[in-house]
Amino acid sequence: MNEKETFELIRTSILSIQEKKDKPIRIAINGIKGTGKTVLAEKLTKYLNSENLNAIKVSIDGFHFNKKVRYKQGRNSAKGYYENSYDEIVFVEKVLKSSQTDFPNYTIATHNLETDEYLSLEPIKLENNSILITDGAYLFKPNYRNHWDLKIYLKTSFEITMKRGVERDKNSLGGVELTKEKYEKRYHESSRMYLVENEPEKIADIVIDNSDFNNLKVIKNTTINNE
């Protein structure tokens, strides 16, 4: 299945959801680090807008804790990365819940990752037909889980995501070997914790094998049965 066909399937699912609710739709794109979540989220947002749907990408990276909290279990702790990276409660309150109120709105960020400063930004108003798209590694954890209208999981092996991650991050993480070590000991170890505790493939409405960017494979789609 090519990218456009996959996006068309997702669009059909969105239209079905819109028939049943009159508030913004919240979409999660989940997968282990290096799967290609961000790229797919950006492309999906662009595609939906080209189809005259009001899609907005909301980055989970704007909702990190500061370094003091993120690294309290150790700078390279996988458990710390899994448990302390994101302010899950604040994201739920300022995006997932606030978008469903009588006057829908969302906050674009509460933290600046570069300066490590917390932010106090005014909420942005949303139209009822808005579609919020967020990509992230832990979006099916219990705090988030029941707030999504459509849950998409990108399935890719650790071997493939390692290759992608090393190629992408080798310059910022100190070279190939240091990047591999970072992925093995922190990122992928935390992903294994997440997979065991949450079983995201079972939770997802749509599962896409993203091993080959040019040949996406939809291996689960429960939205068909729900229409």
Q: How far apart are CA 1 and CA 182, in angstroms?
A: 33
Structurally, how many domains does the chain consist of?
A: 1
- Would you say residue 189 lies in a domain? yes
Per-10-residue mean pLDDT for the chain, 227 residues long? 93 96 98 93 98 97 97 95 97 98 98 97 98 97 98 97 92 92 92 97 97 93 70
3-state secondary structure of 135: strand
Give 94's contacts (C-beta < 8 A, 6+ positions apart). 63, 106, 107, 110, 123
Give the residue numbers spanning the domain of 42: 3-222
pLDDT at res. 225 = 53
Residue 172 backbone dihedrals phi, psi, to 5 degrees = -85, -20
Closest among 90, 92, 98, 27 to 56, alpha carbons compared: 27
Q: Are 89 and 97 in contact (CB under 8 A)?
A: no
Contact 80, 70 (CB under 8 A): yes
Q: Give the domain CATH number at 136.
A: 3.40.50.300
pTM of the model: 0.94
In a domain? residue 45: yes
Residue 218 domain flag = yes
Instruction: State the DSSP H helix or E strand holding residue 124, giving kind and residue range, or none if neither.
Output: strand 124-125
Position 227 in a domain: no
Is residue 89 in some structural domain? yes
Predicted local confidence at residue 1, as pLDDT:
82
Q: What stretch of H or E contains 145?
A: helix 142-145
Q: Of all helices (H) and strands (E), which one includes residue 198?
A: helix 188-198
Please say whether the beta carbons of 3 and 219 come within 8 A: no
Q: What are the helix (H) ranges across 19-117?
A: 37-50, 67-70, 78-84, 88-91
